Amino acid sequence: MGGNFNCRSPEWDPLASHVPQSAITLTELVECFNLSRSIPTISSPTHFSAIANHDDTVIDLIFCANISTPHIIDANSRLPSDHAPLLMDLPIRPDYINYKKRVLPKDSDEETAFISQVSEHLAALNCSNIHSTSCLDNISHSISSIISESWNTNSKTVWITNRLKEWWTPHCSETLLAYRKSKDRKDWRAFRKATRGAKRSFFEERIHEITSTNKRPWDLMEWVKKRKLPAIEGIRYQGRPCNNLPDLWNALHSSYNSASGWPVSPQILNEIKSLPSQSWANFSALELSESLHSCANSSVPGPDHVSWKHLKSIVAHNDCLNNIILIANSSCVVPVATYGFRLWYFEGAHNKALLKSLSSMQRHAAIWITGAFRTSPSGGVESIAGLIPIHLHLRKLAIRSSYRVSTLPSNHALRSLLSDRFSLDSIPHPQSLQLLTPAKKAKVKGPIIDVDSSLHHLSDSFSPFSSESKPGSRLMDIYPDSIHFHPCNRSDKHEMYKHVLSLDSVFISSSLNHSCIAVVTDASVPLVGSLQAVSAAHLYRGRRQVSHAKQASGRASSTDAELYSICISIAKAISLQCDHIILITDCLPAAKLAVDPSIHSSQSQSIQVCRLLSDWLRAKPSRSIDFWDIPSKWRWKPHLKVHNDVTSMRIHAPSHTGATLDFLRHKATNNCQKSWETTFWKKKYRGNSFLLSKKNRKFIIPTYVKGGTWLPLANESPQLCARMTRAILNHALIGAYRERFFPLEQISCRCGHCLETRHHILSYCPLYPIRTQWVQCAFPQYEFLVEFLKKNPAAFAFTNHDTRPPPLQAPVPAEPNEVSFDSSLFY
């Protein structure tokens, strides 16, 4: 840690007359990180004052973990600066790089031995009496141990290189080793002969496999590859072949949507008799063999090193096959837990018992994922595993599914149950909401009521079978060469710079063409819920702005607002009579949605864009439109201008203002996430001893996005994940845990401390000497905790307490304010 601390002290500046409070604070802070001040090789000022008669001072310091590491004050290289650079050679310890791995060579003796060993042990398992889940778990663990031991026994360690030599054989290694020892020319020729023979054998075998086994000789030659026939050539409808996309769409539409536009009578379902329930048929040997036969030999079904090829060889043994079938028939098929939940989950329903069952299921899943103790608090385990509480998850799914009903066609059976506003002129069902009086409707509870009340907030209209969305009639099907997209690689600064240079050139050249219009669009979505989103567009022709458009787009998501700005800009540009449109936006996905008439949020805007562009391109085939992506952070001047224009406008949203589908879906998701965050801060949910930590100076809060918050950094091994969970929840096999649950067992630490606590292990225990700077912080950085666990594999791990080594004789360091530290740690 180094830099300009702007702090003088007689400890490092001989000309300083007193010790200021800032120097004392700096010293205490550095000691908390277990750092020491580096001593320069030659004492010299680091700051040279530009004011006459002012002393030069030492205010630039370096602190490091190793006190013996000096630094150099290079005053001659400061140039015009008033600070001298500090130079230090850091003895950096290289991190462990895994340059080796264990492999099982294909078609080798080791692979044969691996299959034989697995088959032998698997056949010896007794799978005839699986009567409980514990028996099934024991057999599963036994199979895992068999595969692991066989792999470690027969696999070999190889070097990881950037060039893979699949043809390399043990004979090549022997001849190479002989040449390296003798340096004889004969041995060199023998090595070259061995490599040529290995290459010849390998590629001849590969060619035979491609031509004879796979029966695909065209894979060996690029110019005679197998021609892919279009799928529509084999489809016939009403005796006529479907040779193009419009014919194919008509056949599909007539076959599966033949009832479109016709009235629907749900009473027909009452005439269908219910079939009797059937028992589950057991797996058979033939069923398993046929399923394995279609699996490729080169693929792997899971991470346990057993490929489909190995499994085929294993089930060739009758005893192994019988055991696998017994295990499969004893295992239960886990269904989707939330399947059909809308039948019982709705506003006003009494579903406490069902939610309790689902919560118990999720608790078991969270404990299995994290490896936590079964006494661990459910909320803390769920938070670490990234599993949102089940009642919030169901609430989110229910709300989002209610909005999805708006995308159904008018002849869907569900439309006949809704109120008159959302039935789309369908014939009402005898139990439809249209036929209920307001008094009766207020008393009815059910998912249909929830759907009908949710659709009142939606402003989008959808057309599932619009003419613009038919395959073969879509805008991109008819004019693929007239619509171009120019994305920007935002992850590469060099590529982004080249992209902006190209955009500058196109924008300048468009000003020289009077028939070309450049359009720059942007949208603003305010964080305040009482304001509407605003969309704007600026139109340029011949080096000057010729028009602009700015409108409110209601309660919309950022993508919907950008889509609306593209829609109004294209309509404005076409009205100005042009042959080429260059549309520049910072949201290229919205531009792609603009020419996609399928069902999505703000579909009506996309259909309007497709109609405008279709008429415009049909009038003159040479016309075209280009969509350019421009990152907002680049602050490109034309885009910055429209950005300032759109963000400066505030439009109040009346109470009756509707919202887009994406906005409502995101709102439901965000509300559930915020509810989870609020619940997390309650000790009753997360646990009294939950270790709060920070990341980028902010408290870590739970989320289910991208695997959660805690798991991604501890995904190296299940053991590390389990130890991390125990440390955070303070439910680990340590003295404090035994004192609470097993008071008769030993609770002291091996180092001699009276009570083995989490705070003692993380901060002071000499048995875990590799410690990072986080340990003295009240709310540590989560990365430091994971690093501590990686460097101390015995911390919070299962160990036999009776066989531990005797206590160390080293003195136990003092633990100041341990009680107050624990209280702040538990928050």
| pLDDT at 277 (0 to 100) | 76
- Segment 23-31 shows an average pLDDT of 85
The percent of the chain in helix, strand and coil, each rounded to the nearest 5, is: 45, 10, 45
| pLDDT at 432 (0 to 100) | 87
814 confidence band (pLDDT: 50, 70, 90): very low
| pLDDT at 196 (0 to 100) | 93
- Per-residue pLDDT tens over the stretch 406-452: 999 888 888 888 988 888 888 888 888 888 888 888 888 888 999 99
**Which of residues 770 and 711 earns the better pLDDT score?**
711
The answer regarding whether domain 467-659 maps to CATH 3.90.1150.10 reads no
| pLDDT at 262 (0 to 100) | 67
- Residue 803 confidence (pLDDT) above 90: no
CB-based contact 711:718 (threshold 8 Å): no
Q: For the chain, what are the domain ranges?
A: 1-93, 346-457, 467-659, 688-826
824 confidence band (pLDDT: 50, 70, 90): very low
The angle that helices 558-575 and 661-680 make with each other, rounded to 10 degrees, is 160
| pLDDT at 827 (0 to 100) | 33
810 confidence band (pLDDT: 50, 70, 90): very low
Averaged pLDDT score across all residues of the chain: 84
350 confidence band (pLDDT: 50, 70, 90): confident
The rounded distance, in Å, linking the Cα atoms of 772 and 752 is 23
Nearest to 824 by CA among 693, 696, 677, 684: 693
**Which of residues 162 and 731 earns the better pLDDT score?**
731
Q: What is the pTM of this model?
A: 0.62
| pLDDT at 389 (0 to 100) | 94
- Per-residue pLDDT tens over the stretch 455-511: 988 989 999 888 888 877 889 888 989 999 999 998 888 999 999 999 999 999 988
Run of H or E residues at 180 = helix 170-182
Q: Are strands 694-695 and 624-629 parallel, antiparallel or unpaired?
A: unpaired
Q: SS3 of 591, please?
A: helix
- Per-residue pLDDT tens over the stretch 202-247: 888 888 888 777 777 766 766 555 555 555 556 777 777 777 778 8
Q: What percent of the chain has pLDDT above 90?
A: 31
- Per-residue pLDDT tens over the stretch 92-148: 665 555 667 788 887 788 889 999 999 999 999 888 888 888 888 889 889 989 998
| pLDDT at 805 (0 to 100) | 39
The rounded distance, in Å, linking the Cα atoms of 689 and 679 is 16
CB-based contact 718:797 (threshold 8 Å): no
| pLDDT at 241 (0 to 100) | 77
CATH fold of the domain at 1-93: Deoxyribonuclease I; Chain A (3.60.10)
Q: SS3 of 549, please?
A: strand
Burial 506-521 (b: 16+ CB within 10 A, else e): bbeebeeeeebbbbbb
- Per-residue pLDDT tens over the stretch 753-764: 888 888 888 888
